[in-house]
Amino acid sequence: MDMKVVTSKDVQIAVNAKSGMISALLVKPQNAKALLVIAHGAGAGMRHRFMEDTAAKLAELGVATLRYQFPYMEKRIKRPDSESTLTDTVRAAVATAKKLAGDLPLFAGGKSMGGRMTSLAAAKQSLDGARGLIYFGFPLHAAGNPGAERGNHLSEIDVPMPFLQGSRDALADLKLLKPLCKKLGKQSELIVIDGGDHSFHMLKSSGKSDDAALGAVTKKAAAWMAKNF
C-alpha cells in the first residue's frame, strides 16, 4: 500500500452511557470510491493482522474502511458483550461512518461475529445509509455443530448481502449456506473461496498463499461494492 496516497485517522465513537467510548481507525485512499464499516471477529480486535491486511488491500482497490473495537475488546475482556451491546456498537459505528463518508457510498459488515452482529443490527432496524452488508466468513453455526438457525433473521434485512466464504469453513457448512442464500434470493450472493477456511487460510497442498486468498476476497468485495454504488 502506497502510504503517500492513503491516510489513517484515529476515531472515537460514543456507543451509549453504559459502554462509553470505543476506538476506531479510518483508512482512506485518495481515490476512495466507497467506505466500508468493518467489525472484528470474537477473538481478535481491529488491529489483528486479518483486519489490518484487509483494510490495506481494500485501500489499494479504492475502498476506505472504518474498523472499530467492540466494548469488551476495548476493555481487554475476553468474553464478548451481550448481543444488545454489540448491535448498539454496530449502529453507533455506522452512524459515525455516515458522517465521515461525505459523498462516498456506505457499506457495513465484518469478520465472523462482527458480520453476524452487523446483520442482527440491520434486521432489527435498517442501518442508516448502508447500501449493503458484506460478510467475511459468516458464522452460520458453531464448529462441529451444523445448523442454520443463526441465519433465520437474514430475511428481515432490506439491503443486498454478499457472503464471502471459504470452502473449508468449519463455521459455515456450504450444504447449509447454499440453500439459505438461495432462499434469500436476489438479496444475497454467495462467493466461495475454494480451499479457504473460516479466515481464508489455505492448505499448503493447495499451492495458494493466504495472502493471495485474501487478495481474492478483497477484490471480490470491492467488485461487489462497485456494482452497488
The pLDDT tens digits for 57-94 are 999 999 999 999 999 999 999 999 999 999 999 999 99
User: What integer pLDDT is reported at residue 4 of this predicted model?
Assistant: 57
Element housing 35 (H / E): strand 34-39
d(CA 54, CA 214): 7
Confidence of residue 3 (pLDDT cuts 50, 70, 90): very low
For 142, other C-beta atoms within 10 Å of its C-beta total 11
Q: Is the pLDDT of residue 43 over 90?
A: yes
d(CA 95, CA 63): 18
The domains of the chain, with CATH numbers, are 6-227 (3.40.50.1820)
- Alpha carbon separation from 34 to 37, 147, 157 (Å, rounded): 10, 34, 21
Angle, alpha carbons 226-169-41 (nearest 5°): 70
Q: Is the pLDDT of residue 196 over 50?
A: yes
Q: Summarize pLDDT for 13-33 with one digit per residue, the tens.
A: 999 999 999 999 999 999 999
Terminal Cα-to-Cα distance of the chain (whole angstroms): 24
Q: Give the pairing type, strands 188-193 and 161-166.
A: parallel
Q: Summarize pLDDT for 106-127 with one digit per residue, the tens.
A: 999 999 999 999 999 999 999 9
Biggest CA–CA distance in the chain, Å, is 50
The distance of Cα 73 from the centroid of its chain, to the nearest Å, equals: 16
One-letter amino acid of 82: S
Q: Summarize pLDDT for 131-177 with one digit per residue, the tens.
A: 999 999 999 999 999 999 999 999 999 999 999 999 999 999 999 99
